Amino acid sequence: MTENSVPLLSLNNGVDIPQLGFGVFKVDPDKTARIVRDALDVGYRHLDTARIYHNEEGVGHAVKESGIARDELFITTKLWNSDQTDAEAAFEKSLARLGVDYVDLYLIHWPTPERDTYLQAWRSLEKILASGRAKAIGVSNFTIDHLERLLAETEIVPAVNQVELHVDLQQAELRAYAAEHGIAIEAWGPLGQGRINDSPELVDIARAHGKSVPQTILRWHLQIGNIVIPKSNDKGRMAENFDVFDFELSAAEIASIATLDRGEDGRNGSHPLEVN
């Protein structure tokens, strides 16, 4: 498999994003450069980090050492909660740590409702976008209520909303709202953060295609239109996660997976209203 196997989705401002990327959440900063180099060797060209992960430098080192042209890579980073009132300064520090002149996508990491500063932060992101230092801007962990307020009170519709989304937490209502407003959904924790659903339905579907359950879940994400950023420290697992473009789930299989949704009971991470 090569990076050319990964479909590109066109965001609402015309920027193309690889639908399958590689995330570095909870990746040890001291190991990040090696792990990201492995991911690039496998064929990933979409990398997702954040200021709060403390590994932007490692991502930057791997990118530089890879020799891959900058315009062949899609790099995302995120604005941390305590930086929302000074987003432009925080953004410049992220650029410096990454060692790049621009990022492809910059996200507000959490809506932080108790702080109530995400509108101020978004207006700063709009300026960053206008400057060309970010090719697209978006949000992460925003609910429909947060999105509605953002759309009502600011100028630019987010290109992406990156949220916890997996078989146990399928976020159908949020996905429908996003589709209606031209916002791409990106799934973090796409395999359930290690709590992979191994229900008989998924095992049977995986067996029918000669694939693993994680590969089947990633294929499900891709077919329902999610951008997806699995993570692994193991190069073999990275390659397995990348090998999901030579089979297709049927409509009946997609419908079967839909029945596994547990709604909020399936959430593994923090709820957006609880992070400040």
Report the residue count for the chain. 276
What does the alpha-carbon distance between residue 83 and residue 112 come to, in Å, rounded to a whole number? 11
From the list 53, 102, 106, 177, the catalytic residue is 53
State yes or no: is 53 an active-site residue. Answer: yes
Active site amino acids: 53
